Amino acid sequence: MTSHLQLGYVARAHGLKGEVAIRSFDPASQTLDEVERIFVRLRSGEERELRVKSLRNAPKEDIVVLVGVSSRTDAEALVGATVFVFREDLEPPEEGEFFQGDLVGLTAVDEAGKALGTVEEIWATGEVPNLVIRAAGAEELVVPFADEFVPAVDLAARRIVIRPPRFLDADDSEFSGDP
């Protein structure tokens, strides 16, 4: 496991004084409130450690002031950067729980072991997060991160077992007949 845990990304510059809006995988996450530093990977591949000077929570993002980022131009240079926190700065998850960032990059397989793709993103759009799984040449698969659909996670093997939701076809009896 790496010493960095992917948290989200820099969504936009905010204001004129260098603030940035950081969107986490989980908008309800308090992780940024708990850390004094972050690690960013810019689109160019450049990586930087930055100190958090202050932050305030907004409904879908955190507005953050970073040490050394003091102008809108500085903030705009960070837009699109992937944001990580240092694992050692966080309390470890309890048994059977996972940091959402640890799920990104796992190989998704079905219960028979057939590769479905890679967990690329996590959307927090409802009661449970949704894993976004992508494979070359295949449609995107979105799966709720719930026991019914995710029977196993093996971080050491970098693998997650997925039981994709079954969607009823238009031919199914429940859809036949008049409304």
pLDDT mean across residues, the chain: 87
In which element (H, E) is residue 101 found? helix 100-103
The whole-model pTM stands at 0.70
In single-letter form, the type of residue at position 10 comes to V
CA dihedral 99, 102, 10, 32 (to 10 degrees): 30
pLDDT of res. 2: 61
CATH fold group of domain 100-161? SH3 type barrels. (2.30.30)
In which element (H, E) is residue 53 found? strand 47-57
Q: Taking residues 162-179, what's their average pLDDT?
A: 54
Does the pLDDT at position 17 exceed 90? yes
Closest CA to 35 of 45, 22, 47, 46: 22
The ranges of the chain annotated as CATH 2.40.30.60 are 4-89
Does the pLDDT at position 168 exceed 70? no
pLDDT of res. 60: 83
The ranges of the chain annotated as CATH 2.30.30.240 are 100-161
Q: Does 5 or 174 have the greater pLDDT score?
A: 5
Q: Taking residues 34-57, what's their average pLDDT?
A: 95
Does the pLDDT at position 74 exceed 90? yes
Tokens of 98: 């996972």
Does the pLDDT at position 171 exceed 70? no
Does the pLDDT at position 62 exceed 50? yes
Does the pLDDT at position 177 exceed 60? no
Name the class of domain 4-89: mainly beta
- Ranking 101-105, 134-138, 154-158, 162-166 by mean pLDDT, the lowest is 162-166
pLDDT of res. 176: 39
Closest CA to 98 of 150, 135, 165, 141: 150
Total Cβ atoms within 10 A of residue 6: 23
Does the pLDDT at position 178 exceed 50? no
68: left (phi over 0), alpha (psi -120 to 50) or beta: left
Does the pLDDT at position 120 exceed 70? yes
Does the pLDDT at position 67 exceed 80? yes
- Ranking 97-101, 119-123, 150-154, 159-163 by mean pLDDT, the lowest is 97-101
Does the pLDDT at position 113 exceed 90? yes
